[in-house]
Structures are given as structure tokens and as C-alpha cells.
Amino acid sequence: MQTTGPDFDRVFAALGDATRRDIVRRAIAGEEGVAELANHYPMSFAAVQKHVAVLERAGLVTKRRIGRRKVVRTDVEGLRSAQRLLDRYEELWRGRIDRMTDLITNTATTKERTK
């Protein structure tokens, strides 16, 4: 279904879980496979595999073959595009503050005129 660009809903849903965020962090080095990653968490291999699959679908990690091994690697570009979207949310609040400032400035000017 994914046509152009990252699916942001999936990206954010994927990052809404502490274990998955940790996997993304560890996989930046891109040296561990699912089995090695699973050693870091008090959960089953299958559970970790599921988390990795969610991240994969969100475009945040890829599996890559190195020799006979398959390692999980974070797609940093995928992360950055999510960052850009998140910046837009922060912008939303900054926009609100800007509009507040405009309102205050406008009323201040009006008051001065009536003085």
C-alpha cells in the first residue's frame, strides 16, 4: 500500500513503544540480528521478531544480509523524515504562540491610539 514516502501513521505507531524505540537505537550500529537483539530484552524471540516486523513495515529498519548472517539496521533517513513531520507538530504550537503574540501586539497598538 505504501506508494510515496514513509507512512507516518505507521512510523509513529511503531515508535510509540519503548522496546521498539530501543531496538531502533541499537540497530543504528547495524551489527545484530534478531536473535542477538532478543538477548537484550526479557521477552521471547518471537515477541522481538514481531517488534522488528512492525519497525520494518514502518520503514524504520531493514534486514540486510552480511555473509551468512542477517542483521537489522536502522534506516536513518526514515527516521529523519519522521523528525521533519514531528517538527511540523511542534510548529503547530509555535504557530499558536505566534498568533497569540499577534493578538497582543494588535491590541497594544489599538490602546495606544485611543490614549
Per CB under 8 A, residues contacting another protein are 8-9, 12-13, 15-18, 21, 24-25, 28-29, 74, 76, 79-80, 82-83, 86, 89-90, 92-101, 103-105, 107-108
Whether 83 contacts 77, CB under 8 Å: no
Q: Which residues of 77-91 are buried (b: 16+ CB within 10 A; e: fewer)?
A: ebbeebeeeeeeeee
Whether 23 contacts 51, CB under 8 Å: yes
Least distance between another protein and beta carbon 91 (Å): 9
Least distance between another protein and beta carbon 68 (Å): 24
Residue 46 or 97: which CB sits closer to another protein? Answer: 97
Q: How far is CA 1 from the centre of its chain?
A: 20
- Reduce the DSSP state of residue 73 to 3 states and report it: strand
Residue 44 or 101: which CB sits closer to another protein? Answer: 101
Residue 7 or 36: which CB sits closer to another protein? Answer: 7
Residue 44 or 107: which CB sits closer to another protein? Answer: 107
